[in-house]
Amino acid sequence: MKQIFVVLIILFSVVQINAQIENINSGKYSLAKKHFETKYEEHQYPKYLKSQIKSYKDKVVIDIAKVLEFSEDIDYRSRLILENGLLDPIRINGKPFIKISSISELSLLNPDYKTKRFSFWVYKSKEFTKSGNVLKDTLTNRINPDEYYFELQNENADKNTSFEKFIEGAKLTYLSFG
Cβ contact 69:39 at 8 Å: no
Question: b or e along 27-65 (b: 16 or more beta carbons within 10 Å of the residue's beta carbon)?
Answer: eebeebbebbeeeeeeeeeebbeeeebeeeeebbbbeee
How many residues appear in the chain?
A: 178
The pLDDT profile of the chain, 178 residues, written as one tens digit per residue, is 666 655 556 555 554 444 446 677 777 788 889 999 999 999 999 999 999 999 999 999 999 999 999 988 899 999 999 999 999 999 998 999 999 999 999 999 999 999 999 999 998 765 544 444 444 444 445 578 899 999 999 999 999 999 999 999 999 999 999 8
